[in-house]
């Protein structure tokens, strides 16, 4: 009988990816969100900002001042990594495919936030997190809906804190966000749930654990349970 080696007896679990969608007035809430996030959540953060074709973006440089995480402008085929921030390239729309960020010219596509969030929901299921921040129009609403349908987690900026409240308002009207918070509160909530085993189990051994945490969505709905979240992963006796 062949006995699997230690390296073969492990499964690397995908880490959560957070889509941050914003348009007009989005720089301030994106900055506040990153400023209040720990740099070691084990998550990846993808910023989808409405940028015109041919517009030179200083967003990666600006956001680099708000966080110690590495901030990169996306190139086609770039692999997402934990504790990194990725910024969409102007004039493109972006999707996620097998851990790779794929870019295509924007063309007539008018809702790049939806485009990315829908692909994220399809790829990462419960490990997809969507955030809609300040902006005009309703981009992001369908994206949050797709993430919510896969039991991911969805946030919208409190419209009272947004310079341009249309995008979060439309998302809220469609009942797509699980939570409506200020950017600072969103960061705090993401930090709190970052180590929940349903979102970030890291590396676990085969066979699967006998015990698992309660459903994350149910846990998040009760603040008392949030403070009690711990990993209950156990190993079977050999």
pLDDT (0 to 100) of residue 236: 39
Write out the CATH class of domain 15-193. alpha beta
pLDDT in tens, 73-128: 999 999 999 999 999 999 899 999 999 999 998 876 679 999 999 999 999 999 99
Tally of CA atoms within 13 A in the half-sphere of 101 that contains its CB: 26
Peptide bond preceding 207 in cis form (omega within 30 of 0): yes
Is the pLDDT at 230 greater than 60? The verdict is no
Ranges of each domain in the chain: 15-193, 198-226
pLDDT in tens, 44-84: 999 999 876 666 789 999 999 999 999 999 999 999 999 99
pTM of the model: 0.81
Q: Which of 44-48, 160-164, 213-217 has the lowest mean pLDDT?
A: 213-217
């Amino acid at each position: 009988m062949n006995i699997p080696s230690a390296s073969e007896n492990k499964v690397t679990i995908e880490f959560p990816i957070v889509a941050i969608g914003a348009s007009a007035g989005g720089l301030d809430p994106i900055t506040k969100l990153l400023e209040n996030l720990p740099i070691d959540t084990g998550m990846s953060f993808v910023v989808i900002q409405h940028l015109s074709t041919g517009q030179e973006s200083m967003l990666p440089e600006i956001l680099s001042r708000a966080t110690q995480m590495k901030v990169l402008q996306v190139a086609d085929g770039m692999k997402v990594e934990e504790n990194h921030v990725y910024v969409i390239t102007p004039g493109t729309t972006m999707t996620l495919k097998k851990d790779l960020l794929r870019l295509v010219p924007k063309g007539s596509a008018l809702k790049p936030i939806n485009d990315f969030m829908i692909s994220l929901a399809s790829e990462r299921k419960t490990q997809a997190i969507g955030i809609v921040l300040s902006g005009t129009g309703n981009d992001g609403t369908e994206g949050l809906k797709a993430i919510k349908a896969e039991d991911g987690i969805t946030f919208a900026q409190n419209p009272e804190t947004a310079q341009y409240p249309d995008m979060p308002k439309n998302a809220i009207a469609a009942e797509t966000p699980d939570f409506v918070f200020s950017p600072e509160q969103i960061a705090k909530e993401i930090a709190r749930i970052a180590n929940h085993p349903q979102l970030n189990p890291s590396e676990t051994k085969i066979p699967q654990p006998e015990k698992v945490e309660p459903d994350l969505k149910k846990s998040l709905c009760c603040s008392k349970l949030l403070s009690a979240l711990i990993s209950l992963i156990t190993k079977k006796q050999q």
